[in-house]
Amino acid sequence: MARTAVRFADPDQSDIDSDEEDTVVEWLPPICLFWTVIALYLGGFELEIRGGGGVRQLIGVLDTFVLYLAVWALLRMVLRGPLGTIGGIAAACVITTVLLPILSRIGFLIVRVRITKAAT
């Protein structure tokens, strides 16, 4: 029978302070924040989504999600040094959320769907 070695984390070293590897905990805030904010943005603002059916629009949202996480990861890498781990995560979330309207338009344009202001 094969043996499996179990390694316990050293209590003196925190995984979240490690610059070498990311933890799942660091990625949870932007992932949870994205779905809340994109729902408020697409459903709460007077926007008109032109072109494409439901599948293309869904792919547009998923493209926006990928762009959001990519921008967040870049900002987190830049801001982690001066602001620390928690500060870098929080600042990257705020900045990326402010950029969400631009990111969503780019994400939807990838699948040839346009987001415009609704005519009043």
For residue 30, give its domain range.
Answer: 24-117
The string of pLDDT tens digits covering residues 13-48 is 554 554 556 788 889 999 999 999 999 998 888 888
| Within-domain flag for 7 | no
In a domain, 51, yes or no: yes
Asked if residue 41 is part of any domain, the answer here is: yes
pTM exceeds 0.75 for this model: yes
| Domains identified in the chain, total number | 1
Supply the DSSP string of the chain, one letter for each residue: -------PPPTTS-GGG-SSS--HHHHHHHHHHHHHHHHHHHHHS-EEEESS-HHHHHHHHHHHHHHHHHHHHHHHHHHHHHHHHHHHHHHHHHHHHHTHHHHHHHHHHHTT-EEEEPP-
In a domain, 18, yes or no: no
Question: Within a domain: residue 17?
Answer: no
User: Would you say residue 55 lies in a domain?
Assistant: yes
What is the rounded CA–CA span in Å between residue 40 and residue 108? 16
Is residue 46 included in any domain, yes or no?
Answer: yes
86 located within any domain:
yes
In angstroms, the CA 69 to CA 75 distance is 10
Maximum Cα–Cα distance for the chain, whole Å?
71
Q: Which tens digits make up the pLDDT trace of 52-91?
A: 788 999 999 999 999 999 999 999 999 988 898 899 999 9
